[in-house]
Amino acid sequence: MFQTIIYLSAALVVVQAQDLGVPLSWKNFSNSRPYDERVSIAQTAIDTILPQLDNSTGEFSGNDGVPGIGYWQSGNVFSVMAIQDWLADTTTNKALVEDNLELVWGLWENYDQYGYNDDAMWWAQAAIYAYRAYGSATLLQHAIDTWTHVSNYVLTADEASSGSSPYKDVSLVATCDGKSMVGGVFWRPVEDDPGMNSITTGLYITLSAFLADITGDSKYTDAAIQSAQWIQALQINDDGILLDSLNGNNCSRSPATWLFTYNSGKFIEGLSVLANVTSNDTWNDLMVNVLASAVKSSAWEGADGIITEGASLTSNNDGVGFKAIFIRGLLEAWNRNPLYDDLRVLIHSYVDVQYNALLTQVEDGGSYSPDWNGPAQNFTTWGQMAALDPLTVAIATN
């Protein structure tokens, strides 16, 4: 049985700036399902998506007339499979996870199929979760190699000062809004794209922090700190919600309305690990503030607390995978803050809102609609993928 990991974090600090109370308008924010049942529900949901797996590509590309999901989303299915085994203390998914992470590594150098640093790091992050669950040194090395590759596309102080990078053929700015651009991670490893965004940088923070935690090497800690400072300075709006994209050539931004759960979720996850690694209260305080804002944001949920993002019933879209990443980020905050009661009650309650919505409003024979407000519908690969993380995270948070 999964036991809460006791991390010696600065989680005892009470952050006065945020209300960590559970809104009474949230729908069904507790449940009494026993541990064994929660494990079974989550594993059954994983088993239900497995027939969509293409064993030649490692992707859930679909069959029998049911469309599949994308490359980055497929990597996240293996992530949650490894997390499921870690939380449940099983090896049920071990062979599939390890074999497919090895398969995809062999197909695409540094896990980069399409020329996107975030794609590469989704799969490297899956390798980290698999290492945590199973101890594979080979998968850990894949994560390290991917980190090394992506590190070429992190803006350094020297590059910011000179306005150029050996990996970009466009000029770069040293500051935006008077704040340093050092630590931002370029979205794409191509010469003509100066775009940076929160998810690529958040993934780099998280990957760096996990590697720092695993290896004790300060280069990973330093990298995580530098990139966390970039998001802290430039990418959080007045409501505490992460913004999306920023152009490293001219400081132009994506629309202020581009607010997506996974940006906040991945930052929460990375900060949770970084706070533990550094024993620095600053990172934990920032994590708590971002988390408290995110779980109560009207940008992606109603007053009932149920996430509305990515609810397409007829076709896959990136948004359906975003909310799964958000819930996964809350798991790390839960695990790294064992004595922070108010925070854990808030996380527990928010996860249960999604969990109960899935089980009472959108479940149909072990499959789940991507619209968590319901009604239930026939199986879709993307709906199933989105449900896996909340179903698995609830093993721990109850």
- The DSSP bridge pattern shows strands 363-364 and 367-368 to be antiparallel
Would you state the pLDDT for residue 10? 36
CA nearest 202: which of 221, 179, 184? Answer: 184
Q: What is the pLDDT of residue 3?
A: 41
Asked if the model's pLDDT at residue 238 lies above 70, the reply is yes
Per-residue confidence at 8, pLDDT binned at 50, 70, 90? very low
pLDDT band at 49 (very low <50, low <70, confident <90, very high): very high
- The percentage of residues in the chain with a pLDDT greater than 90, rounded to a whole number, is 94
Residue predicted with more confidence, 6 or 377: 377
Q: Does the model's pTM come out above 0.85? A: yes
- The average confidence (pLDDT) of the chain is 95
Alpha carbon distances (Å) from 240 to 233, 300, 341, 346, 349: 12, 14, 22, 17, 20
pLDDT interval class at 17 (50, 70, 90)? low
Q: Which tops the pLDDT comparison, 8 or 42?
A: 42
Work out the pLDDT band at 32, boundaries 50, 70, 90: very high
pLDDT at 15 over 90: no
Segment 200-217, tens digit of pLDDT: 999 999 999 999 999 999
Q: What is the pLDDT of residues 334-379, one digit of tens each?
A: 999 999 999 999 999 999 999 999 999 999 999 999 999 999 999 9
Question: Above 60 in pLDDT, residue 102?
Answer: yes
Instruction: Please tell me the predicted confidence (pLDDT) of residue 18.
Output: 78
Q: What is the mean pLDDT of residues 37-42?
A: 98
